[in-house]
């Protein structure tokens, strides 16, 4: 049996953002102490934790000090050196390990793993030079998109190509190193699913959700997704296949696209709780943050039921004023603010979850505010 981490013990979270904050809140509710490793003081996660080590997340000395203060360690973002996580595992339990982290950090490794697991992917090619793009584009076709193998979470980490004349635009991106050229497959909907799994193989699978992005940022999540039962069942099958193949311990987010012909393509793996399942705090029998803490602490995992359909929207810095007005107008909306001190354009500051019996009507209500157009 895996080691059981009991209430009163200390969970260390590497990373200080909003996902770490919501992990920490779940852990505190379950009776754990929480420590944070992050270079910025008073970060969102540290505000609700017991203590913080202020240091870079890849600082070996700080990581060792952190490990000695914790009973189990998790991470809330992918920008952690996988080899350092592997080394940390010799001092303290890091149940997520480093394999999934390595795969999720590198688009080529991710695609190779998914192909080995017979998971459907958009056609792609490894790119080192402009000449590689010319050769690959002739078979992949246009439109296509060139991406860095490390996820930048910004548009500057990718270039869209609509025709051969766009190829020279890729020169700057190629200076960052190896890239991936992917076919751009028109889709009907973007989907997401989150699964938690413990070392004993118990799983908690959350409903398939529909996600809507704007400028590469998650704008809206609709739970459950407006798709057929067959599509939802296939998305769940894919999530279980990937989780079991990786011996997942912790939580995994999977983003997919659905075409008009009903084909599903996996587009991304995320080796931690995923923003698309923030709705689970109110709308599910157990939140993704609690199942994650349960999984890394060796607790059994619950079956997940959807208590209510929901629509969630992200609050960006430029939407703060409009969202704050809604506090006075929408008593049934659930407002979450992340405690970020700097509100710069495009920065995620919080989210709102709306429980509903009529998702379409709620989407209209959200659009009518004029904030999330």
DSSP 198-222: -TT--EEEPPPEEEEEETTEEEEEE
* Token pair 């770490």: residue: 20
Q: Comparing C-alpha atoms, which of 234, 227, 79, 48 is closest to residue 153?
A: 79
The answer to whether residue 211 sits within a structural domain is yes
Does 350 lie in the same domain as 207?
Answer: yes
Contact predicate 336/351, CB 8 Å: yes
The answer to whether residue 315 sits within a structural domain is yes
**What would the pLDDT profile of 131-140 be if each residue is shown by its tens digit?**
999 999 999 9
Does 139 lie in the same domain as 207?
Answer: no
Per-residue confidence band for 2, with pLDDT thresholds at 50, 70 and 90: low
Does 236 lie in the same domain as 131?
Answer: no
Does 227 lie in the same domain as 177?
Answer: no
The answer to whether residue 152 sits within a structural domain is yes
Say how far apart CA 229 and CA 139 lie, in whole Å. 34
Greater pLDDT, 83 or 7 = 7
**What would the pLDDT profile of 277-324 be if each residue is shown by its tens digit?**
999 999 999 999 999 999 999 999 999 999 999 999 999 999 999 999
**CATH code for the domain of 38:** 3.40.50.20
DSSP character for 170? G
Does 216 lie in the same domain as 157?
Answer: no
Does 348 lie in the same domain as 237?
Answer: yes
The answer to whether residue 55 sits within a structural domain is yes
Residue 190: per-residue pLDDT: 97
Among 183, 202, 224, residue at a domain's last position: 183
Residue 157: per-residue pLDDT: 79
Greater pLDDT, 232 or 373 = 232
Does 266 lie in the same domain as 163?
Answer: no
Instruction: Give the chain's domain count.
Output: 3
Q: Domain containing 159: what range?
A: 123-183
Does 196 lie in the same domain as 178?
Answer: no
**CATH code for the domain of 145:** 3.30.1490.20
- Torsions phi, psi for 335 (to 5 deg): -100, 130
**What would the pLDDT profile of 106-123 be if each residue is shown by its tens digit?**
999 999 999 999 999 999
What the block records as the tokens of 10 is 């200390």
The answer to whether residue 373 sits within a structural domain is no
For the chain, percent of residues with pLDDT exceeding 70: 98
Residue 43: per-residue pLDDT: 97
Say how far apart CA 326 and CA 61 lie, in whole Å. 46
The answer to whether residue 107 sits within a structural domain is no
The answer to whether residue 99 sits within a structural domain is no
Per-residue confidence band for 150, with pLDDT thresholds at 50, 70 and 90: confident
**What would the pLDDT profile of 344-367 be if each residue is shown by its tens digit?**
999 999 999 999 999 999 999 999
Does 129 lie in the same domain as 80?
Answer: no
**What would the pLDDT profile of 188-202 be if each residue is shown by its tens digit?**
999 999 999 999 999
Say how far apart CA 10 and CA 34 lie, in whole Å. 5
Does 212 lie in the same domain as 174?
Answer: no
The answer to whether residue 104 sits within a structural domain is no
Residue 284: per-residue pLDDT: 98
Residue 80: per-residue pLDDT: 87
Span 67-76, average pLDDT: 97
Residue 156: per-residue pLDDT: 58
Look at residue 1 and tell me whether its pLDDT is greater than 50. no
**What would the pLDDT profile of 206-259 be if each residue is shown by its tens digit?**
999 999 999 889 999 999 999 999 999 999 999 999 999 999 999 999 999 999
Q: Average pLDDT of the chain?
A: 95
Span 27-46, average pLDDT: 97
Among 138, 168, 183, residue at a domain's last position: 183
Residue 216: per-residue pLDDT: 83
What the block records as the tokens of 190 is 């973007």
Does 128 lie in the same domain as 63?
Answer: no
Among 50, 79, 94, residue at a domain's last position: 94
Q: Which helix H or strand E contains 172, and what residues bound it? A: helix 171-174
Vertex 343: Cα angle to 339 and 349 (nearest 5): 45
**CATH code for the domain of 200:** 3.30.470.20
Does 309 lie in the same domain as 212?
Answer: yes
């Amino acid at each position: 049996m895996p080691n059981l981490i009991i209430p009163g013990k200390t969970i260390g979270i590497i990373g200080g953002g909003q996902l770490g904050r919501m992990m920490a809140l779940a852990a505190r509710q379950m009776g754990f102490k929480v420590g944070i490793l992050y270079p910025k003081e008073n970060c969102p996660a540290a505000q609700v934790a017991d203590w913080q080590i202020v240091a870079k997340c890849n600082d070996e000395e700080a990581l060792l000090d952190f490990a000695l203060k914790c009973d189990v360690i998790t991470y809330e973002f992918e920008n952690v050196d996988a080899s350092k996580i592997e080394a940390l595992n010799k001092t303290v339990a890091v149940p997520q390990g480093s394999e999934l982290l390595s795969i999720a950090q590198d688009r080529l490794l991710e695609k190779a793993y998914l192909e080995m697991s017979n998971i459907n992917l958009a056609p792609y090619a490894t790119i080192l030079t402009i000449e590689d793009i010319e050769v690959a584009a002739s078979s992949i076709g246009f439109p296509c998109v060139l991406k860095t193998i490390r996820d930048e979470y910004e548009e500057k980490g990718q270039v869209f190509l609509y025709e051969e004349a766009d190829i020279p635009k890729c020169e700057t991106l190629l200076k960052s190193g190896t890239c991936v050229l992917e076919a751009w497959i028109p889709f009907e909907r973007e989907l997401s699913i989150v699964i938690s799994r413990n070392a004993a193989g118990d799983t908690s699978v959350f409903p398939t959700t529909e996600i809507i992005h704007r400028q590469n940022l998650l704008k809206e999540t609709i739970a459950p997704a407006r798709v057929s039962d067959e599509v939802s069942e296939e998305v769940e099958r894919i999530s279980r296949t990937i989780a079991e193949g990786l011996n997942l311990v912790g939580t995994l987010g999977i983003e997919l696209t659905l075409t008009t012909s009903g084909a599903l393509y996996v587009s991304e793996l995320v080796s931690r709780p995923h923003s698309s399942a923030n709705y689970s705090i109110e709308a599910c029998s157990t939140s993704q943050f609690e199942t994650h803490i349960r999984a890394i602490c060796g607790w059994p995992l619950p079956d997940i039921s959807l208590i209510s359909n929901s629509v969630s929207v992200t609050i960006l810095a430029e939407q703060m004023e409009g969202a704050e007005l809604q506090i006075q107008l929408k008593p049934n909306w659930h407002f979450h603010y992340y405690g970020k001190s700097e509100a710069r354009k495009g920065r995620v500051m919080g989210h709102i979850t709306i429980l509903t019996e009529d998702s379409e009507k709620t989407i209209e209500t959200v659009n009518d505010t004029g904030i999330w157009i």
